[in-house]
Amino acid sequence: MDKHALVVMSEHGEQNPGGQGRMLHALQAAREFKAAGVPAEIFFHGIGVQWLTAFAAPSDRYTEVYGPLFEEVRDMIGGACDFCAAKRFDAADAAKSFGVPLLGGDGEHHTVAQLVADGYRPIVF
Q: What is the pLDDT of residues 58-84, one digit of tens each?
A: 888 899 999 999 999 999 999 999 999
CATH classification (class only), 3-124: alpha beta
**How far is residue 62 from each of residues 59, 82, 91, measured CA to CA in Å?**
9, 24, 17
Q: How far apart are CA 111 and CA 78, in angstroms?
A: 13
Sheet hosting strand 40-44, strand order edge to edge: 102-103, 77-81, 40-44, 3-8, 120-124
Query: pTM for the complete prediction?
Result: 0.95
Residue spans of alpha helices (H) in the chain: 17-36, 50-56, 61-73, 82, 92-98, 112-117
Residue 1 is predicted with a pLDDT of: 76
Arithmetic mean of pLDDT over the chain: 95
Give mean pLDDT, residues 31-50: 98
Domain ranges, ordered by start, for the chain:
3-124
